[in-house]
């Protein structure tokens, strides 16, 4: 291995694991009002967006995470017309939501306008014109504040945020108080989708605590896992609703809805993948059942401590 640290980018997966990627080119490095940002070309992953030292998206495998985050909730809803996205500055989550012809309006609240601008400049393949879609309503504002003030209801709300770190902007959007706000903004059959963190054993604190916190607000919570090379392995996503359980959708029904909505270009998601994502391993089912931690404003969860 090349010993020159300038030739490698270190990505902290957890307090116990760091991945090293060969760095081909640093395209951008700077600091916004909210976080540090780098855009780097890596031999392993292509061009990547790095926030606060952690890779958020890579051009080569972003479809795995974004299809898994968005499509199960969109497909589970019988006819999603309105979507709200918290975060998702790269525009890939917005892209996946807009792929459904039923969608009439997609509102996105991304606090950091510089992340959006840099993503459009260096990673245009992630948004693929989604920001210019006439159905898109983009706000560079705090998602929690936006939803608190809003009176609009949404069929699907997608929480696509970085992991909660003490100096980052996302920790107040993983709490029970925030999920209560989200619940109030959902339509009757509405669903919430949440980026919930690593499913690597034994680093399960974020995933299991998010699952348990959602269970304190919603009667239905379903957790799935998808393998994302950029994130170092299995990654957890949680879906919650008052009435709709995406984990109970049959393989054939998922494929039927994909066809009826004319979804094109999916690389990860179909009925069989849906079924596999919600088939959790025993260790994770046991960890989810044992967790009692509820994340609150007064007792937030911070990751990546020493």
Residue by residue, what is the 3-state secondary structure of 14-40? ECCEEEEEEEEEEEEEEECCCCEEEEE
- CATH fold of 62-290 reads Rossmann fold (3.40.50)
pLDDT of residue 165: 59
- CATH fold of 5-58 reads Spermidine Synthase; Chain: A, domain 2 (2.30.140)
105-109 and 82-87 strand pairing: parallel
Distance CA 196, CA 18 (A): 19
Rounded CA Rg of the chain: 18
What pTM did the predictor assign? 0.94
pLDDT of residue 304: 56
The catalytic site residues sit at 160
Question: Which residues of the chain fall short of a pLDDT of 70?
Answer: 1-3, 5, 164-170, 304-306
Burial of 140 (0-12, 13-18, 19+ CB in 10 A): middle
Per domain, the residue ranges of the chain are: 5-58, 62-290
Distance CA 243, CA 235 (A): 25
pLDDT of residue 305: 47
């Amino acid at each position: 291995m090349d010993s020159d640290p300038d030739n490698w980018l270190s990505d902290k997966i957890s307090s116990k694991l760091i991945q090293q990627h060969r760095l081909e080119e640093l395209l951008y490095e700077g600091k916004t009002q909210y976080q540090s940002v780098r855009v780097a070309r890596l031999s392993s992953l292509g061009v990547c967006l790095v926030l606060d030292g952690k890779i958020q998206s890579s051009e080569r495998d972003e479809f795995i995470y974004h299809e898994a985050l968005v499509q199960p909730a969109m497909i589970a809803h019988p006819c999603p017309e309105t979507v709200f996205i918290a975060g998702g500055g790269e525009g890939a989550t917005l892209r996946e939501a807009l792929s459904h012809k039923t969608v009439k309006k997609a509102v996105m609240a991304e606090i950091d306008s510089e992340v959006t601008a840099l993503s459009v400049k260096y990673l245009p393949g992630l948004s693929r014109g989604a920001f210019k879609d006439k159905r898109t309503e983009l706000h560079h504002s705090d998602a929690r504040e936006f939803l608190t003030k809003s009176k609009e209801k949404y069929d699907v709300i997608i929480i696509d945020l970085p992991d909660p770190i003490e100096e980052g902007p996302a920790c107040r959007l993983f709490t029970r108080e925030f999920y209560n706000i989200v619940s109030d903004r959902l339509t009757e059959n509405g669903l919430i989708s949440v980026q919930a963190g690593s499913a690597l054993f034994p680093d399960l604190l974020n995933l299991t605590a998010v699952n348990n916190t959602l269970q304190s607000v919603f009667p239905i919570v379903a957790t799935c896992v998808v393998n994302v090379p950029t994130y170092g392995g299995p990654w957890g996503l949680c879906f919650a609703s008052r009435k709709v359980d995406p984990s109970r959708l049959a393989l054939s029904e998922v494929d039927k809805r994909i066809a009826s909505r004319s979804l094109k270009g999916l690389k990860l998601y179909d009925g069989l993948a849906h079924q596999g994502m919600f088939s959790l391993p025993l260790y994770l089912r046991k960890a989810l059942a044992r967790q009692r931690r509820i994340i609150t404003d007064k007792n937030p969860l911070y990751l990546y401590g020493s």
